[in-house]
């Protein structure tokens, strides 16, 4: 008893102390979220570790690039940017988002690489009534009232290039992609629009060939089937390590002279360096290319190259745009920029000038209505780069 008694009283003191501290911090919180101090707290959630960390770091850097180009202010208010690690997916994204939304009490959230992470975080957004301006992954969502994306929907790249492939390729096209949600969406976008344009797939059963993901590292057997099908061109979507394997093996395969069309991620960012010469001449469709000729893009690329090796990616561009969206929305929300007011202001933005060209949010999907570009991997100085060779369809909504 003698031993436990002081302990208990010590525990009571500690509890009391904790209470006092909690009350103090709650008071402090109240003053900071009122926003009268002129600062505004934004949360950025992105994969800074794990498989997608190169994408996550581009997203973080793209947002910070916009901030530093605007004196660290959005809508005239000094921004306190709280960065958290999304990790590999929902399991790590949810606790990180919970901290940002409930502990840091940010007025807006941005970033998020994975579509699965976005879906898992959405209930938290509904609960805390905080708007989310996503810059990459976009899953199927029922309620988009607080969700906005500056990226694209997964089936849009294929939809945008299908008519061009139909017109360009005399004969049939073989469709192949990875066997997961992202792959299904990307390929469905192409095959549906291609069929609507009167095209016929070279696949023996008329359906896209899906390869086990991420288990497939050797594509040679699939190339043999493509050869046997007599296809005149191939359409595909792969990203990351699978994109490197696919492209390198394609260039040394029996079908190396068959034109390859792809969603832009096949040759975007770091994977292009890994593919090297094997990627030469591949056609891809994307909403951005660093060589687009407009004032916003020239400023963006110049600022990016000042701090990074190489050109910016579409991931960095989308995050840069997310900052631009918040900049205008916070300014429009006025002095008392609450989460609700910022969300309402995003819906009223209209046209947004961007390095990709001007775009706007679709009122139904809350994703961009934007122009897509046909790019080809070509020599650009000493390095290979995705060079714009033409405009494709404007897709969205």
Partner 1 sequence: MSGVPVDPYVVPALDGVAYGLLVFVAAAGLVLCFGVAGILNLAHGTLFAIGGYTAAALLDGGWGSLALALVVGVGAATAAGALVALLLTRVGAAGHLNQALLTFGVALAGGSLLVAAFGPDDPPVRVPAALDGSVVVAGHRYAAYRLVFIVLAAVLAGLLHLAVRRTRAGMLVRAAVDDAEMVATLGVSPAVVRVGVLAAAGALAGAAGVLGAPIIGPGPDTADAVLLLSLVVVVLGGLGSMTGTLLAALAVGQIQTLGVALAPSAAPFLLFAAMAVVLAVRARGLATARRAT
Q: Which helix (H) or strand (E) holds 48?
A: none
Residue 336, Cβ density class (10 Å: 0-12 exposed, 13-18 middle, ≥19 buried): exposed
Residues 154-193 contacting partner 1, CB under 8 A: 179
382 binds partner 1 (CB under 8 A): no
Nearest-5° Cα angle at 387, 385 to 392: 140
236 binds partner 1 (CB under 8 A): no
379 binds partner 1 (CB under 8 A): no
User: Least distance (Å) from partner 1 to the CB of residue 265?
Assistant: 14
Q: Which is nearer to partner 1, 72 or 276 (CB)?
A: 276
238 binds partner 1 (CB under 8 A): no
- 8 Å CB contact between 265 and 243: yes
225 binds partner 1 (CB under 8 A): yes
280 binds partner 1 (CB under 8 A): no
3-class state of residue 369 by DSSP: strand
227 binds partner 1 (CB under 8 A): yes
Which distant-in-sequence residues (6+ apart) come within 8 Å of 381 by Cβ? none
C-alpha span between 319 and 124 (Å, rounded): 21
- 8 Å CB contact between 393 and 298: no
Write the DSSP symbol of residue 178: E
User: Least distance (Å) from partner 1 to the CB of residue 94?
Assistant: 22
User: Least distance (Å) from partner 1 to the CB of residue 75?
Assistant: 34
Sole window of 137-145, 241-249, 308-316, 354-362 interacting with partner 1 (rule: CB under 8 A): 241-249
- Tokens describing residue 234: 């191939």
Q: Which is nearer to partner 1, 129 or 207 (CB)?
A: 207
What one-character-per-residue DSSP string does 136-163 give?
A: S-----S--TTEEESS--TTHHHHHHHH
Closest by CA position to 155, among listed 118, 119, 190, 194: 190
Size of residue set near partner 1 by CB under 8 A: 37
298 binds partner 1 (CB under 8 A): no
User: Least distance (Å) from partner 1 to the CB of residue 258?
Assistant: 11
User: Least distance (Å) from partner 1 to the CB of residue 169?
Assistant: 21
Binding string, residues 47-86; x marks residues near partner 1 by CB under 8 A:
--xxx-xx--------------------------------
Q: Which is nearer to partner 1, 293 or 309 (CB)?
A: 309
Candidate list 275, 314, 343, 386; residue touching partner 1; CB under 8 A: 275
Could you count the other beta carbons within 10 Å of the beta carbon of residue 356? 27
Sole window of 32-40, 72-80, 214-222, 303-311 interacting with partner 1 (rule: CB under 8 A): 214-222
User: Least distance (Å) from partner 1 to the CB of residue 268?
Assistant: 12
Candidate list 273, 335, 380, 391; residue touching partner 1; CB under 8 A: 273
User: Least distance (Å) from partner 1 to the CB of residue 167?
Assistant: 28
C-alpha span between 373 and 164 (Å, rounded): 11
- Tokens describing residue 294: 């407009």
C-alpha span between 236 and 310 (Å, rounded): 25
Q: Which is nearer to partner 1, 51 or 172 (CB)?
A: 51
- 8 Å CB contact between 234 and 246: no
249 binds partner 1 (CB under 8 A): yes
Sole window of 124-132, 150-158, 206-214, 377-385 interacting with partner 1 (rule: CB under 8 A): 206-214
Q: Which is nearer to partner 1, 154 or 211 (CB)?
A: 211
C-alpha span between 397 and 395 (Å, rounded): 7
Only one residue has tokens 């395969």, namely 253
Q: Which is nearer to partner 1, 79 or 260 (CB)?
A: 260
Residue 7, Cβ density class (10 Å: 0-12 exposed, 13-18 middle, ≥19 buried): exposed
Candidate list 76, 276, 310, 347; residue touching partner 1; CB under 8 A: 276
C-alpha span between 124 and 146 (Å, rounded): 11
What one-character-per-residue DSSP string does 298-342 give?
A: HHHHHHHHHHSSSPPPHHHHHHHHHHHHHHHHHHHH-SS--HHHH
216 binds partner 1 (CB under 8 A): yes
Which residues form the interface with partner 1 (CB under 8 A)?
A: 49-51, 53-54, 179, 209, 211-212, 214-218, 220-225, 227-228, 240-241, 244-245, 249, 252-254, 256, 270-271, 273-276
């Amino acid at each position: 008893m003698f031993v436990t008694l002081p302990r208990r009283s010590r525990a009571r003191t500690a509890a009391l102390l904790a209470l006092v501290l909690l009350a103090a911090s709650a008071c402090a919180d109240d003053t900071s979220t009122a926003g009268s101090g002129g600062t505004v707290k934004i949360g950025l959630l992105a994969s800074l570790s794990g498989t997608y960390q190169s994408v996550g770091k581009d997203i973080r850097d793209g947002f910070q690039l916009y901030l530093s180009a605007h004196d660290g202010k959005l809508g005239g208010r000094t921004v306190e940017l709280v960065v958290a690690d999304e990790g590999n997916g929902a399991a790590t994204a949810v606790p990180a988002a919970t901290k940002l939304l409930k502990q840091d009490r940010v007025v807006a959230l941005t970033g998020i690489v994975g579509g699965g992470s976005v879906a898992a975080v959405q209930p938290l957004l509904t609960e805390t009534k905080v708007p989310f301006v996503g810059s990459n992954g976009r899953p199927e969502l029922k309620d988009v009232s607080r969700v906005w994306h500056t990226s694209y929907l997964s089936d849009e790249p294929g939809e945008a290039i299908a008519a061009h492939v139909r017109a360009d390729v005399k004969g049939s096209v073989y469709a192949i992609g990875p066997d997961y949600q992202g792959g299904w969406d990307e390929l469905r976008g192409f095959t549906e629009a291609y069929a609507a344009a009167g095209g016929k797939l070279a696949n023996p059963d008329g359906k896209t060939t899906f390869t086990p993901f991420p288990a497939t590292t050797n594509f040679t057997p699939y190339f043999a089937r493509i050869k046997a099908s007599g296809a005149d061109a191939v359409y595909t979507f792969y990203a990351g390590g699978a994109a490197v394997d696919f492209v390198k093996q394609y260039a040394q395969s029996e079908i190396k002279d068959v034109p390859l069309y792809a969603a832009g991620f096949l040759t975007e960012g770091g994977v292009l360096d890994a593919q090297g010469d094997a990627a030469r001449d591949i056609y891809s469709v994307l909403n951005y290319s660093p060589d687009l000729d407009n004032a916003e893009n020239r400023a963006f690329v110049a600022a990016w190259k000042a701090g990074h090796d190489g050109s910016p990616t579409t991931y960095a561009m989308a995050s840069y745009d997310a900052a631009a969206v918040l900049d205008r929305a916070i300014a429009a929300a006025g002095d008392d920029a609450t989460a609700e007011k910022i969300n309402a202001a995003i819906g009223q933005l209209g046209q947004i000038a961007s390095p990709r060209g001007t775009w706007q949010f679709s009122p139904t999907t809350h994703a961009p209505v934007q122009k897509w570009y046909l790019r080809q991997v070509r020599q650009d100085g000493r390095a290979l780069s995705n060079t714009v060779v033409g405009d494709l369809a404007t897709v969205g909504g």
